[in-house]
Amino acid sequence: MKLLVTVTILVLAGACASKKKIKEVDYSETISRDYVVRESATNGVRPGWIEDAEGWATQENMDTKKFRFFSFETEPKVNREIACNLAQANARSVIAAEITTFIQKSLAESSEGSAAIDANNPKTQPMRDYVSNTLSERIQSLVHGAGVIKTYWEKRSYQKSLGAKKDYFGFTCATLIRMETERLRTAIEKASEDLVEKADPEVKENVKKALQNLDEDFVKARHGEV
């Protein structure tokens, strides 16, 4: 299953910290795509939260300190029910995937972390295997309290004349997901602790340094503060 995970970062600019305007997308605009939207939950206007959940929540004056917001959209499915059931079922997977990507990036971009996943060091093989194959599932098991607060669907007519591989109808569904910030921090802290335990003794301290304050950094990054 391919997750289309939207990385949602609010851009703050200027001394006055002005808010970015998250626009709804009107399908009357000329945008290159390989499909035509025939029906949708909002009669042709695509909600801004699909592309930037955190920015949209800030714009709508939602409590972005107590909660963090995520969005997920499915690939085309044969009917609306299947698409929306899948979108709602993937709430935890979406958050776990984003955290996993952030952890992998943090390890790779720090000198301490990169040593722990150095492919030239045979001792790092268990750590690399864990990061590649198990970390996302472990994080998903730690994610609790994530809930879907909005749903949006589209019925699309994919057309070869527009660049699609074939002519067909497909339904997509998107969800806006909310999770308490403290629960999110707890999940990241536990995942970081697991990683340190999995690390080879020679690089354990390096991994600990690379993942220091990871929970805080993740929350800040999603809010555009780092």
Any idea which of 133-142, 157-166, 194-203 has the lowest mean pLDDT?
194-203
Confidence at 21, pLDDT banded by 50, 70, 90 = low
Q: What is the mean pLDDT of residues 33-51?
A: 92
Query: What's the rounded Cα separation, in Å, for the pair 43 and 133?
Result: 41
Range with the poorest average pLDDT among 139-143, 151-155, 200-204, 216-220? 200-204
> Is 68:222 a contact under the CB 8 Å cutoff?
yes
Torsion over CA of 194, 199, 202 and 205, rounded to 10 degrees?
-30
Q: What is the pLDDT of residue 13?
A: 34
Q: How many CB atoms lie within 10 A of CB 125?
A: 12
| Nearest residue to 54 via CA among 216, 174, 172, 221 | 221
Using the predicted structure, report yes or no on whether residue 29 has a pLDDT greater than 50: no
Q: Rounded CA gap, 199 and 123, in Å?
A: 9
